[in-house]
Structure 1
Amino acid sequence: MLAHDIAAAFHQRFGTDPLLVRAPGRINLIGEHTDYNAGYVLPAAIDKEMYFAVALNQQHTIRLHAYDLNQSEEVAVDAVAPSETQWANYLLGVVAQLQQRGVQVPGFDCVFGGTVPAGAGLSSSAAVECGMLFALNTLLQAQLEPMQIAKLGQAAEHEYAKVMCGLMDQFASVFGQAGQVVRLDCRSLDYEYFPFDTTACRIVLCNSGVKHSLASSEYNTRRQECEQGVAVLRRHYPEVQTLRDVTLEQLEAHRDELGPVVYRRCSYVVEENQRVIETCRLLTQNDLSGVGQQMYASHAGLSEKYEVSCKELDVLVEIAQTTPGVYGSRMMGGGFGGCTINLVATEQVADFVQHMKTQYQQQLGLPLETYEATIVDGVGLFTDK
């Protein structure tokens, strides 16, 4: 098991007993590109996880080892700065956040690795940040609250990875609960858990194989387009702070002033927030078909209005739509690649996977990786047993 291998690698490399931490990646059932617009998201932590072995080393040096890459990085604690090594930035960004808040971070050793596929839209970066923060918080007895851990992880991503992500990914990694999806209100940071029954239906992820880079200009462009829309609407409705405060009627009334592109972006976000609310209502009624319809509508909006899909993702959703046992399907994550999330009747999962692989190969000539995901608890300790 990978977690055991990482603990063993730490013993071999540093010769001391480490603290062992696991931090999950996440799926988002619905609510995409709503988080940075102060809207609603509906994520869950999943059993694709990052594992950390961490110990203080009584030195003034931070020694990091990426197990999966077999790469190492050393930095003096008083010289923490963005690195040329991209993976190290997620960890160093966390240290910098703690230092900025007056936490004295001494030298420490860390070996980490995981089963979260990079570039698949499952938030490997947030899992790395939150796992590192949880470990240091425990070792240093810094008494950070869970929400502070999520926010510091987000700030590390902004400042060191240069990705202006919303809070959802880090929140899900910290606050996940087994068998539940959690609706986060990104404006108030209130949250509420909703049951997700994995006996009747399974979550299957289909990886398009197209690597997305969230730091790409397109992601930040979408944020700017939403902000442009808010700026226009505020002239007419001073109470509007974000797209969360906007109605479809207001958008329609100022459609010409917004222009076609900004109008499409804004209307997608407003509609997606409504879909999250409706999905939660349907979950409490155990109406999986209804949930699936909301997912298909979400994908159509992401593809046509928000324009963050790609041919590969659209094809995966089209195939899923005509496959027996599928309740719903949509692209998940920032877009331009990564995975689709599919709700599939438990007894149909094997057939679904086979059909998707065959059709994807036939239609696009591409191999398809799939992952079945189980909803698990958020970041925590594990034992090497």
Structure 2
Amino acid sequence: MQLQDIEPAIRESSRPAAALQAFCETHFDAAPLVVQAAGRINLIGEHTDYNNGFVLPAAIDKAIYLGIIKRNDRQLRFHALDLDDHYTGSLDSLASSPQHWPDYLLGVVQQLQQKGYPIQGFECAFGGNIPQGAGLSSSAALECAVLFALNQLFELNLSKIEMARLAQAAENNFVGVRCGIMDQFASIFGKRQHLIKLDCGSLEHEYIPFRFDDVKLVLLDTQVKHSLASSEYNTRRAECEQGVQLVSRHHPDVSSLRQVTLDMLDAYVKPVNAVTYNRCRYVVEEIQRLQDACTDLINDDLSAFGQRMFTTHEGLDKLYNVSCAELNWLAAMASREAGVLGARMMGGGFGGCTINIVKADAVPGFIAKAGQGYQQQFNVPLKAYVTSIEDGCKVMA
């Protein structure tokens, strides 16, 4: 999971595929391989990934589009279309760029070189329509796009799981963001009309159908990111680790909150530290809540699933303490609307989006009412995105 997307190279474009095609026809001397890599949402299962729990992401219809051709030398040439910016470098001298955005691509190249995969120089151009700063993981989509493209271009025969791991490593080790694997996994493994139940401990996964034609997934973007986000994220990780340590004194086989029960927390954590107890209680409950939510979907009970989303938001606010006034206002407003089945904050917290399951015929009124009320309450415009669940990385025809 990423707390905040560091994605200045990717700005929303209304026709990114067409813009890419026009650029390639003008600037490339050969027909490019063109790939599409999706952004992602996470329906339920927040702050569980770094506790070896489950998450429930999906690839969406907002994506990065990348065109790529081989070169006959060791040079690298990148074009960020939405920034109208360019980078030139070499396979023989990979280093972080002061432009910053090339690092997402350079990190992938570095990982492939370190693993001994044979690649040569290449030129690529990319653009996208993943909203910037909304927590939809455009940075992971860019990493996956270039990795997927290089795998095809140089016939590296990488498996999907190898690509997800390499893309995550690129962000961890070159870009310097300590993200989990969920974002890259969802972008690569995404399947239309399905969620991915991902075990963040083993990386085993299964697809959970999400075929509900009478509802839409609506993201409401607070357009705020409070300064607490990064420091509090690290604090939450430390608090979870402290809870595990307290339990493991009595149960040496316990190494993550995935293995902890509420009875263990009541016995070994609650008497020691009430704050740590609340953090751990939320995670333990959320891991179970996600599994119950998957059962709801298998039983076609979207109303029960939506209620669990509301409960997750309450836990993130009251127990995990990573929400904020803007997110709480949006979630509370959604809970009062008859056309909304479920809503919660999505992502690391302290800003970003709420994700809402809304009856299709109620979407226009819901967005209008939320936008008007939010503007009055916070004097900030509210952005709304209606999205659908689509396939992950693929070569475009």
Residue 213 (structure 1) shift: 8.3
Q: Deviations over 1:146-187 (max 9, x none)?
A: 011111111111112222111111111111111111101111
Q: Check conservation: 1:163, 1:214, Cα contact below 8 A.
A: no
The residue aligned with 1:354 is: 368
Aligned to 1:204: 218
Whether 2:38 is the aligned partner of 1:24: answer yes
Deviations 1:178-230 (A, max 9, x none): 11111011112111111112312110010111147898233233222222222
The one-letter code of the counterpart of 1:232 is L
* 2:247–2:269 contact (8 Å) kept in structure 1: no
3-state secondary structure, aligned to 2:258: helix
Counterpart residue number, 1:155: 169
CA distance in 1, matches of 2:328, 2:160: 36
Change in CA separation of 1:162 and 1:261 when aligned onto 2, cut-off 3 Å: farther
Partner of 1:111, secondary structure, is: strand
Task: List structure 1 runs of 4+ shifted beyond 6 angstroms.
Answer: 212-215
Please give the alpha-carbon distance, in whole angstroms, between the structure 2 residues aligned to 1:154 and 1:179: 25
Matched residues in 2 for 1:153 and 1:257: separation? Answer: 41
Q: Which moved more, 1:205-214 or 1:138-147?
A: 205-214
Query: What SS does the corresponding residue of 1:87 show, helix, strand or coil?
Result: coil
User: What are the Cα deviations for residues 9-40 of structure 1, in whole angstroms up to 9, with x where unaligned?
Assistant: 12322332111000000110000111111100
Deviation at 1:295, TM superposition (A): 0.3
Residue in structure 2 matched with residue 255 of structure 1 by the alignment? 269
Give the alignment's Cα RMSD to 1 decimal: 1.6
**Shift in alpha-carbon separation, 1:374–1:173, aligned structure 2, 3 A:** same
User: How far off is 1:64 after superposition?
Assistant: 0.9
Displacement, 1:258? 4.7
Name the structure 1 match of 2:291.
Answer: 277
Partner of 1:323: 337
Identity across matched positions, percent: 50
Matched to 1:97, the amino acid is: Q
Where do residues 126-137 of structure 1 align in structure 2 (5 Å cutoff)?
A: 126-137=140-151
Q: Which amino acid in 1 is paired with 2:217?
A: I
1:101 to 115, 121, 127: 115
Q: CA deviation at 1:101?
A: 0.5
Quote the residue 1:62 is aligned against.
Answer: 76
Offset of 1:311 from its aligned partner? 1.4
* Letter of the 1:72 counterpart: H
Separation in structure 2 between the aligned mates of residue 213 and residue 72 of structure 1, nearest angstrom? 31
Please state whether the residue corresponding to 2:223 is helix, strand or coil.
coil
Separation in 2 of the partners of 1:63 and 1:155?
A: 22
Aligned residue number for residue 44 of structure 1: 58
> How many Å separate the matches in 2 of 1:18 and 1:86?
25
Normalising to structure 1: TM-score of the pair?
Answer: 0.96
Distance 1:161 1:306 in 2: 28
| DSSP-derived class of the 1:169 partner | helix
> Counterpart of 2:332 in structure 1: which amino acid?
E
Report how far residue 356 of structure 1 moved: 0.9
Q: CA offsets per residue over residues 332-367 of structure 1, 9 Å max, x none?
A: 112221111000011111111111111111211221
Q: Distance in 2 between matches of 1:215 and 1:166?
A: 16
- Corresponding residue number in structure 1 for 2:4: none
Which residue of structure 1 lines up, in the alignment, with residue 301 of structure 2?
287
**Larger deviation, residues 265-274 vs 203-212:** 203-212
Structure 2 residue runs of 5 or longer lacking an equivalent are 1-14
Matched residues, number: 383
Distance across 2 between alignment mates of 1:118 and 1:212 = 16
2:139 is aligned with 1:125: yes
> Any stretches of 5+ residues in structure 1 without a counterpart?
none
Please, which of 314, 317, 325 is the counterpart of residue 303 of structure 1?
317
1:289 deviates by 1.3
* 2:243–2:269 contact (8 Å) kept in structure 1: no
Shift of 1:79: 0.9
Question: How far apart, in 2, do the equivalents of 1:132 and 1:270 lie?
Answer: 36
Output the amino acid matched with 1:84: P
Which SS does the other structure have where 1:371 is aligned?
A: strand
Structure 1 residue 14 corresponds to structure 2 residue 28: yes
- Identify which range, 22-31 or 224-233, moves more after superposition: 224-233
- Larger mean Cα displacement after TM superposition, 285-294 or 81-90: 81-90
Three-state SS of the structure 2 residue aligned to 1:216 is helix
Does structure 1 conserve the Cα–Cα contact (< 8 Å) formed by 2:229 and 2:348? no
Task: Confirm whether residue 75 of structure 1 aligns to residue 96 of structure 2.
Answer: no
